[in-house]
Chain A
């Protein structure tokens, strides 16, 4: 069974095999959405029938974005005319910037690709983060799945009780854990420190919020600032055992759920008096209103964009979807496309000086 062939034969056959396989791989992994360019006026149901719509998620499987996308994928198909098949693909990288850029530049604008990525990418565009290769104004938006205030959850045994306590200088600084610059865990403490001079110290560099949770439990840090919906879904046992308290959070008006659970919590913007500071706070946290956005490439045919927007809206109201989301403890507080677009435009229309200050705060080491 041991066959020897002459040396040059082997070299050629190796190169040949490599070339053939490489070619096959390139063809197979070429542009993903293989549909030909749309014909104007083609009936929507005809177009979508028998096709597959791909939702590209900018994170690895298992996280909140991925779970939301997969749950939505289960129910989205029946709300699109023609009932296409919906699948989810993961394209993690650069905090979902890779997926965002891909959706904008590479995916075909034929209505067969949807993207789910971190809403903070819009802020990255405003403050000119390197690597941004998209324009949120041109992107098509279907809506977003949840809105949630950012809350600072700290250990119940910490000496800080109220938002005013954060201004005290006689206590050791409140140590908050963060993941990386640009993440909400990092932005909010920096914002508090800049705008109200809060006595907080950010210890950044943890791999993810679950690792920060471990650090809080082991007393390495005192707490972290993250979206309330993450708290209720991934740290429910903290809530159930009163392990944490919330001195400060941020929302444009008092949030009933937070206030009910943590009556002494105060909003950050209530701690400032001038309009400029309040505008800065709102600008920095505006994206918490458009959390978990669903987007499509720019220049989609208008009828398909509308169909997808309606389908998204219908899915977010679909009782079966909501029941499963509830069981998964996933908050669903959707915005329709029109509201998502409004908030995005507001963020993008920030005056240059506010954007500049925002950039300074977020990018500081």
Chain B
């Protein structure tokens, strides 16, 4: 096995293979930066070119393209606040506020570096589990997948940014919205209002771009400034972001592992990993950082978590595709098509007879990500300058990206209308301080949870509740929920925050524990819903880098 592992590397390093990989990467990069122009459509367009290539080259090309779209998508999310891909929406939540503070370089550096770490871990995880993955996944059935989706939903509370009740309601709304469409089990139409375009539910790309992108554009227009409200501090540069990735080493690694594991679960789709990783980052990081900032106000951990996870999930997705022929996303479905066209059969053969090809795919992911990140780091500082352009120059470009992205998913004008509708909703949610991440998490998980529950009951009646793994997951879910609530109720800071505070306390004045300066219903550190409680008394904060003047964006 080890021999084939390195043989895969030598295959990929052949000049011709490297060349097509670089070509694929260049295309994937361009595509990832443009919102909505998904990796999937481009992969499909490029597929015919691979018909004549030998298998290793074909997959070097396709995987090279696929590996970098998530990384490039992070760039758009941070700079413009418009998700470059549906899988990079979580990076907007904390990455874009950092850009508005003039720390775009730092956010980008962190996103790039964590993407690389995530990709490497995802790829090596793929390589490591190859001998054992088939029996492990085959031991899981619909009941276990149902419990996994429930586990994902349990993180809704962690995404609520301290306002658990609002978060739960938003999550419930997302869940409800996911039910729109044709009921898969009976064919009954739910809330489709007679629109054929709603039969498959609300397009995820449209709602993500609308919910997160439009409010940012409106905010930019209203502010009348450039994206970066102020100049970067000395600590705002790209290398600082890279250093942050290593400062929060364990978070990055945990998020990568989380992403890879989520990627292996069939049907969870690409959008879940980022939100679960974000929730995990929220739960395992101090409530406020050294500058007193909470999550969604521009916390570096909020960039590192999703940045790593949305790359590592590709490794997980690839395992599922290669070992079982079950595509986890449309991009993987195309890759699967490429498999079949080449006469390859996903399944045991890929882990046995053709394992060199599988390992070459692992190495492709590794090399593609390293090269992409290295090259990006070189010119990212130039890209950061966009954030200093006058808003009125940048807005039309962003709007074009938004509309084009919404249309391009299904070639449907209807989705453009959806973007505007959810853009309005997103804007209202921002103005009223309602958290948006729980809504999206509810949206991506809702249908899936229902499907797996239905399959479980249909197949096993109620006996599935007694299956061993189901019970294990039940305990895990309860633990997550109890912990989330306890954290909100007790308002205790983990020990790390105190240590961090004392170290940095020597450098600059800090206001540890102070609330963000929002005019909304003071979400105190001790209230479950924060309504009606006065903000805790605090000394007047002396801020070195003041945040944006208006309410924190979520």
Binding site for B on A (CB under 8 A): 1-5, 7, 10-11, 13-14, 17-18, 20-22, 24-26, 29, 60-63, 66-67, 70-71, 73-74, 88-94, 97-98, 101, 130-131, 133, 175, 179-182, 203-207, 210-211, 213-215, 217-221, 233-234, 236-237, 240, 324, 327-330, 363, 365
Contact = CB atoms under 8 A, between A and B. Distances in A.
Contacts, number: 197
A13 B412 contact: no
Contact of B221 (A10, A89, A330, A363): A10
Contact of B141 (A62, A215, A328): A215
Contacts of A329: 340, 343
B40 A61 contact: yes
B403 A218 contact: no
25 contacts: A1-B388, A2-B230, A3-B224, A5-B392, A13-B392, A20-B396, A21-B399, A21-B403, A29-B413, A62-B337, A63-B337, A71-B48, A89-B411, A91-B412, A92-B410, A93-B196, A94-B196, A98-B196, A98-B197, A181-B185, A204-B184, A210-B326, A214-B138, A240-B345, A365-B185
Contact of A218 (B139, B187, B222, B334): B139
Nearest to B144: A218
Given A93-B200, A236-B345, A237-B345, A211 B221 contact: no
A98 B182 CA distance: 13
B44 interface: yes
Interface stretch (B147-155, B251-259, B305-313, B451-459): B451-459
Contacts of A131: 196, 199
Nearest to B222: A10
B246 interface: no
Nearest to A362: B187
A220 B334 contact: no
| Centre residue among B229, B330, B347, B413 by max chain A CB count within 10 A | B347
B493 interface: no
A6 to B, nearest CB: 8
B10 to A, nearest CB: 26
B266 interface: yes
A17 B392 contact: yes
A193 B101 CA distance: 65
Given A2-B225, A2-B226, A25 B48 contact: no
A18 to B, nearest CB: 6
Interface in B217-236: 218, 221-222, 224-226, 229-230
Interface of B: 40-41, 43-44, 47-48, 51, 137-142, 182, 184-187, 189, 196-197, 199-200, 218, 221-222, 224-226, 229-230, 266-267, 324-327, 330, 332-337, 340-343, 345, 347-349, 388-390, 392, 395-396, 399-400, 403-404, 407, 410-413, 416, 451, 454-455, 458-459
| Centre residue among A63, A66, A211 by max chain B CB count within 10 A | A211
Contact of B399 (A7, A18, A74, A91): A18
A213 B326 contact: yes
B326 A211 contact: yes
Given A3-B224, A214-B326, A220 B459 contact: yes
Contact of A93 (B142, B199, B399, B451): B199
Nearest to A210: B326
A130 to B, nearest CB: 7
A104 to B, nearest CB: 12
Nearest to A59: B333
Contacts of B337: 61-63, 66-67
CB-CB nearest 7 A-B residue pairs? A62-B333, A61-B44, A14-B221, A62-B334, A94-B199, A328-B341, A181-B187
Contacts of B199: 93-94, 97-98, 131
Nearest to A6: B224
B348 A90 contact: no
Contact of A13 (B221, B389, B458): B221
B407 A25 contact: yes
B41 to A, nearest CB: 7
Contacts of A130: 189
B341 A61 contact: no
Contact of A324 (B51, B142, B229): B51
A324 B49 CA distance: 13
Contacts of A26: 413
B146 to A, nearest CB: 12
Contacts of A234: 325, 340
A324 B340 CA distance: 11
Given A62-B327, A179-B184, A329-B343, A74 B459 contact: no
Nearest to A73: B48
A94 B325 contact: no
Contact of B451 (A3, A205, A210, A328): A205
B102 to A, nearest CB: 11
A204 B396 contact: no
Given A3-B225, A17-B392, A90-B410, 10 more contacts: A10-B221, A17-B396, A60-B333, A205-B184, A207-B451, A210-B326, A217-B324, A218-B137, A233-B340, A327-B342
B416 A70 contact: no
Contacts of B343: 327-329
A5 B142 CA distance: 57
A10 B226 CA distance: 13
Contacts of B326: 210-211, 213-214
A63 B333 contact: yes
| Centre residue among A88, A93, A179 by max chain B CB count within 10 A | A93
A198 B349 CA distance: 35
A214 B144 CA distance: 14
Contacts of A180: 182, 184-185, 187
B297 to A, nearest CB: 20
B48 to A, nearest CB: 6
A31 B187 CA distance: 31
Nearest to B338: A62
Nearest to A240: B345
A98 B266 CA distance: 26
A330 B490 CA distance: 61
B180 to A, nearest CB: 13
A211 B267 contact: yes
Nearest to A324: B51
Nearest to B458: A203
B411 A91 contact: yes
Contacts of B342: 327
A211 B458 CA distance: 16
B51 A175 contact: no
Given A4-B225, A60-B333, A328-B341, A218 B404 contact: no
A290 B229 CA distance: 61
A14 B410 contact: no
A10 to B, nearest CB: 5
Contacts of B41: 61, 90
Nearest to B331: A62
A20 B399 CA distance: 10
Contacts of A206: 451, 455
